Amino acid sequence: LEVIASVEPRIAEATRQELADQRASLKLIASENYASPAVLMTMGTWFSDKYAEGTVGHRFYAGCQNVDTVESLAAEHARELFGAEYAYVQPHSGIDANLTAYWSILAHRVEGPWLTDAGVKNMNDLSEADWEKLRGALGNQRLLGMSLDAGGHLTHGFRPNISGKMFHQNQYGTDPETGLLDYDALLRKAREFKPLILVAGYSAYPRRVNFAKMREIADEVGATLMVDMAHFAGLVAGKVFTGEEDPVPYAHVVTSTSHKSLRGPRGGFILATEEYAPSVDRGCPMVLGGPLSHVMAAKAVAFAEARTPEFQGYAQKVADNAQSLAEGFLTRGAKLVTGGTDNHIVLLDVSSFGLTGRQAESALLDAGVVTNRNSVPSDPNGAWYTSGIRFGTPALTTRGFGREEFDTVAELVVDVLSNTEAGTNKAGAPSKATYVLGDGVADRITKQSAEM
């Protein structure tokens, strides 16, 4: 920090403060974690200075021999860790991984056959008229993903996201009674809509998914099954999700982030079958530019960590702790979407406290409990104010919390929300954003949570 302070002291100070804040508060954001010192240190090296567009052994720049070592090792660890036929570790983030995967699938399923039919190997050889036709074909494909309010991610066909714009998109939800995925309803929708790509995976669905069933549905309608395991990659790596709950044997393409439950550096990666590997391998230059070599190095370190028995123990604790948190809420009378959890996420419906997600999120933050508001299925408050709070156990499990501590977390959260009232705006009208936290509650809870 001294080196940074000698150039820009305010950045050094913000960095120091971030460490203090992350240590003092209860980090319950389901997509966050604490990476190991080895992972963090690997990101801060001179690999950041090196350009290496292309792929291993086939670069558009000279002097990439060390980056080749790094990228090969990261890919090898990823293949071994997940039992995948092929791994691509260049995407800079989860969104990049999804975009790269979409274009790879389009290249494999649409562009390749189209060029073969046209008798052309290279698209640069196409006439302007044929090029327009190919672009039309690429832009006329269908994607079916989980809706945002059911727990899907915005890259799964949400209209304002590029995935909702580049595809004709349709969404599947969950059963209105149980909040659970309804595979029969999904099959009916897929038969009707006939997607090129069926996307499985979620950001806020607190349950496991049966990927064998997902693959059956995809096969029946001729779709490519893409699973976005960004959230639960750590539970797959740690062998908590096995058999039909492990996406790798069933999906054609699996995308992920490396920084959530997997506890690596911020970044993305893709796993694929041999069949899809050649198109995914063209991620750069198709979608990506120069890879972040320092981050690929840190991915290799994180994957190596995840291959240890210690990581398997950690992943099991993440799931056990989520059970404890859910039970802690339920025994205190709170309402959970789907009535519980069997992954690392607990989705609390805060409407029974008379609050919006926005109000609950702010009140909890005042008390040192860091969460994020989240839509619940068919949310009456929409995606901005919402009616839910999403909790995740990966970060505090890294800090050593166990079942007992997570029960206390549930107690603190219920204490804060029971002592918070919806507020009004300046004109005295009800407001979905303002809230009144009971006297002394924030201080009391902050003190308790800082001691944990």
Residue 263 within binding range of ligand PLP, rule CB under 6 A: no
The verdict on whether residue 154 carries a ligand-binding annotation is yes
- CA-CA distance, 179 to 378, in Å (whole number)? 10
Q: Is 42 in the site for ligand PLP (CB under 6 A)?
A: no
Q: Among residues 335, 405, 327, which one has the least CA distance to residue 27?
A: 405
The verdict on 257 binding ligand PLP (CB under 6 A) reads: yes
Check whether 148 is labelled as a binding-site residue: yes
57 labelled ligand-binding: no
Q: Is 51 a catalytic residue?
A: yes
266 is a catalytic site residue: yes
Residue of this chain nearest to ligand PLP (CB atom): 94
Tell me if 171 contacts ligand PLP by CB under 6 A: no
Note if 213 is an active site residue: no
Regarding 446 and contact with ligand PLP (CB under 6 A), the answer is: no
Nearest residue to 138 via CA among 162, 103, 172, 187: 103
Of 27, 50, 207, 260, which residue is the catalytic one?
260
Residue from 155, 324, 397, 420 in contact with ligand PLP (CB under 6 A):
155
228 is catalytic: yes
Q: What angle do CA 205, 210, 214 make, to 5 degrees?
A: 100
Closer CB to ligand PLP, 266 or 399, in the complex = 266
Please select the residue that binds ligand PLP; options are 100, 203, 341, 420, rule is CB under 6 A: 203
Size of residue set near ligand PLP by CB under 6 A = 14
| Sole window of 93-101, 219-227, 344-352, 369-377 interacting with ligand PLP (rule: CB under 6 A) | 93-101
Could you say whether residue 210 binds ligand PLP (CB under 6 A)?
no
260 is catalytic: yes
Q: Does 343 bind ligand PLP (CB under 6 A)?
A: no
Cα–Cα distance measured from residue 136 to residue 99, given in angstroms and rounded to the nearest whole number: 18
Residue 95 touching ligand PLP (CB under 6 A)? yes
Per the annotation, does 275 bind a ligand?
no
Any contact of residue 373 with ligand PLP (CB under 6 A)? no
257 is catalytic: yes
User: Distance between CA atoms of 412 and 346, rounded to whole angstroms?
Assistant: 15
From residue 106 to residue 145, the character string flagging contacts with ligand PLP as x (rule: CB under 6 A) and all else as - is ----------------------------------------
List, as residue ranges, the binding site for (6S)-5,6,7,8-tetrahydrofolate.
148, 152-154, 274
Question: In the complex, which residues of this chain contact ligand PLP (CB under 6 A)?
Answer: 31, 93-95, 98, 153, 155, 201, 203, 228, 230-231, 257, 268
Which positions are annotated as active-site residues? 51, 53, 228, 257, 260, 266
